[in-house]
Amino acid sequence: MLLNAGRLLQQYVVDNYVKIESGRLRWIKEHQSDIRSELYQGLHDVLHVGETNAENIGKRTILPSSFIGGRRDMTQRYEDGMAIVLNGGKPDIFLTMTCNPSWSEITSELLPFQTPQDRPDLLIRIFRSKFEKLKDDVINKGVLGKVTSYMYVTEFQKRGLPHVHMLLVLESNDKLRDPKDYDSMVRAEIPKLECEPQLHEVVVRHMIHGPCGIINRKSPCMKDGHCKKRYPKQFLDETRQGTDSYPEYRRRFDESVSLGRDRSVDNRWVVPYNPWLLLKYDCHINVEICSSIKSIKYLYKYVYKGPDRVAMEVHKGSYMDEVQQYVDARWICAPEALWKIFRFTLYRLYPSVERLQIHLPNRHQVRFYDHQQIADVRSTRKVIGRIYTVSPSEGDKFYLRLLLSHVIGPTSWEYLLTNNGMTFSTFKKSAEDRGFLETDHSIRDCLVEATSLRMPYALRRLFVTILIFCEPTDVRGLWNEFFTHMVEDYQIANNDVESDLTNMLLKDLNELLNLHGKKIDDYDLPSLPPITIDRGAVPSIIQEELAIDIPNEDIESIAKLNNDQMIAFNTIMNVIVQKHNGIFFVDGPGGTGKTFLYRTLMASLRSRGEIVLATASSGIAATLLPGGRTAHSRFKIPIDIQPSSICGIEKQKDLANLIRVAAVIIWDEAPMTNKNCLEALDRSLQDICSNNAPFGGKVLIMGGRIFVKFFLL
């Protein structure tokens, strides 16, 4: 009965697949607190401080790339495809096969009152069977040439028909190099009816584009009055080799062919095809020569563009729940739902690409669960794959990847650290010795000029700025040359020996680096002296917040608050004093006293020994708040923010402790930021504070100018 239900079958299939997919997404969302990641070295570190429970280690990790079809999954597959291009060369053939609902294998199984759309199960099973035969012909039998590598992606049109995009890389001897080779494989003309009647019939049935243009301006391929596929093409007597484009195939002038309904077409409207494949499979099979395309990344980007989506705009409603980017109005048809329910292959790549995570010695990433003991995690070996990209800001890891990309056949860490018989202490030094890095002449000139103009404390700040943003190659050389200039004020104030001056300078530099999430150990500098750490000692990041100066005018400003400011002040202070959680929004145009209210609250709380984290969306706004930082800097919000992103705060680090003990968080100019930033902070605070309340149960004050109402939560 179900197979005879027509559209009800389609609805039933889609509803059930949506339940399956929603269940997977729900599991991902609800189990984020269980799955964590931390560096292998981090597991050693926490053992030294007595932590054995995995629940309190590392940072929450979202793994959307494991969700097939998600944005990160498609990005990873795109990069896998580009890795094959780097290894085996550009693809030679771009083939697209689309299901034909009129195949006899489908129509013979339909009841008199049924159409092919009423049996999506037949559509996908027959299409999959046909495509498997096509793969055998193309890949194993080599009807288009011997294939050395390939990839394909299965997609579904909005009208429901499945189709496959396939990219093929041919062996060197079979590559297509000139128009004569192109003509031997691809045609773009309507065959003569009297010479090739069968081919003529299938070309007219499957390989004619449109109608579009003047005939049909509402065609899906029309944009700004023109066809996106650039039909009709030009008549050509000979095939021309493309320049960073597909070839211009031979389309000789000939008589038009009537398609009925007062419509006729000629060779300008023919989609390129391979005669042998078209005759055998009796469906739309577009075959294009793509070896002349230089910007091949756009071709792979098109293939891995992901599933169809619909756009919508919502005007009414106080709350909108977007679980993941994957669920942003996904378009799912019955054939796609059944394809995934039957677990048919959506993507395939040959040869396979392993994704190798780049890591320093003893710092490979390990994923683990709350209930595991650390000793068990350490004894489990993690299989790691293809090399990922690394930012230069990641220090020695970047130079490790640089060496791996240029040194042939490395066998160990020591192999990479050694060059010409010399073993270096860092990968950066090894890369520099091999000539992979530029010199620091301009940086040195900058510091030389600064020593004659600036005070030592300014010189120290400049040195830290250079370390963070300029990536100098010889850090130790700069340290040795400008050491005396950076400690001049220490020598005037103290009569300490040089070792004490070194420690004082290292301590100050480390504090400046900490403001940017860095530390002395990240650079080729002398190590800080070992200090006996008291487990109950207050972390320096908390001491810095407690030591922020409180301006007298801010302490005295309570009496200057107007009526509205006083109501807001008392309301917020009552929530904080009573240890309740709440989210407030201070709305008002510029100049109405929002910053004045923030500073009054901060002075009142800090005078009581409370910690206030003052942040803003911009650096200019942050400078108006004592101890202010940008929200991205304070909470380590990712620059490339996504709907599923989280902040880069590890749960056992000092920054997490600072957030836990903070009485209130202030975020000025909040409307300027992307909503994904707030959502990332919300997820991270819930994890850090082990509290599922909004923003981990912290008191959050946001401010700015908007034109919608915000309510106290």
Asked if residue 487 belongs to a domain, the reply is yes
Among 10-19, 276-285, 696-705, name the most confident range. Answer: 276-285
| 636 and 675 together in one domain | yes
Amino acid at 162: P
Asked if residue 709 belongs to a domain, the reply is no
pLDDT of residue 144: 92
| 4 and 15 together in one domain | yes
Asked if residue 525 belongs to a domain, the reply is yes
Q: Which of 581, 465, 594 is nearest to 523 (CA)?
A: 465
pLDDT of residue 189: 92
| 694 and 578 together in one domain | yes
Task: Give the mean pLDDT of 400-423.
Answer: 86
Confidence of residue 378 (pLDDT cuts 50, 70, 90): low
| 482 and 613 together in one domain | no
In the chain the first and final C-alpha atoms are separated, in Å, by 51
- Of 270-274, 339-343, 404-408, the one with minimum mean pLDDT is 404-408
pLDDT of residue 14: 86
The total of structural domains in the chain comes to 6
| 20 and 148 together in one domain | yes
pLDDT at 513 over 80: yes
Confidence of residue 494 (pLDDT cuts 50, 70, 90): low
Q: Of the candidates 381, 405, 434, which is a domain's last residue?
A: 434
pLDDT of residue 710: 41
Locate tokens 């800090």: which residue? 606
Asked if residue 8 belongs to a domain, the reply is yes
512: alpha, beta or left? (left if phi > 0; alpha if psi -120 to 50): alpha
Confidence of residue 616 (pLDDT cuts 50, 70, 90): very high
| 13 and 151 together in one domain | yes
pLDDT of residue 137: 94
Cβ-based burial of 476 (10 A; exposed 0-12, middle 13-18, buried ≥19)? middle
Residue 628: what are its φ and ψ, rounded to 5°? -75, 145
Q: How far apart are CA 452 and CA 570, in angstroms?
A: 52
Question: In the chain, what percentage of residues exceed pLDDT 90?
Answer: 23
| 24 and 122 together in one domain | yes
Over residues 566-592, the pLDDT tens digits come to 999 999 999 998 888 899 998 888 788
With a CB cutoff of 8 Å and minimum separation 6, the contacts of 204 are 190, 257, 259, 265
| 26 and 157 together in one domain | yes
pLDDT of residue 372: 54
Judge whether 324 and 62 are in contact, CB under 8 Å.
Answer: no
Confidence of residue 221 (pLDDT cuts 50, 70, 90): confident
- Of 195-204, 401-410, 563-572, the one with minimum mean pLDDT is 401-410
Over residues 284-340, the pLDDT tens digits come to 999 999 888 877 777 887 888 766 555 444 444 433 333 445 565 567 888 888 888
Q: Of the candidates 290, 318, 341, which is a domain's last residue?
A: 290
Among 236-250, 324-338, 677-691, name the most confident range. Answer: 677-691
| 634 and 509 together in one domain | no
pLDDT of residue 404: 85
Judge whether 688 and 698 are in contact, CB under 8 Å.
Answer: no
Query: What's the whole-number average pLDDT of the chain?
Result: 80
Over residues 381-403, the pLDDT tens digits come to 433 235 767 766 677 787 888 88
Q: Of the candidates 531, 554, 569, which is a domain's last residue?
A: 531
Q: How far apart are CA 203 and CA 278, in angstroms?
A: 8
pLDDT of residue 220: 81
- CATH classification of the domain holding 550: 3.40.50.300
pLDDT of residue 371: 54
Asked if residue 117 belongs to a domain, the reply is yes
Task: Tell me the three-class secondary structure of 286-343, residue by residue.
Answer: EEEECCCCCCHHHHHHHHCCCCCECCCCCCCCCCCCCCCHHHCCECCCHHHHHHHHCC
pLDDT at 163 over 80: yes
Q: How far apart are CA 79 and CA 499, in angstroms?
A: 50
| Position with higher pLDDT, 540 vs 371 | 540
Asked if residue 235 belongs to a domain, the reply is yes
Asked if residue 536 belongs to a domain, the reply is no
Residue 295: what are its φ and ψ, rounded to 5°? -85, 70
pLDDT of residue 376: 56
| 665 and 635 together in one domain | yes
Amino acid at 344: F
Task: Tell me the three-class secondary structure of 47-84, residue by residue.
Answer: HHCCCCEHHHCCEECCCHHHCCCCHHHHHHHHHHHHHH
Asked if residue 113 belongs to a domain, the reply is yes
pTM of model > 0.85: no
| 458 and 593 together in one domain | no
Q: How far apart are CA 55 and CA 652, in angstroms?
A: 10
Task: Tell me the three-class secondary structure of 475-532, residue by residue.
Answer: HHHHHHHHHHHHCHHHHHHCCCCHHHHHHHHHHHHHHHHHCCCCCHHHCCCCCCCCCC
Over residues 627-676, the pLDDT tens digits come to 999 999 899 998 888 887 888 888 778 888 899 999 999 999 888 888 89
Boundaries of domain holding 463: 441-531
| 328 and 397 together in one domain | no
C-alpha distances in angstroms, 577 versus 548, 559, 571, 608, 699? 21, 20, 10, 11, 11
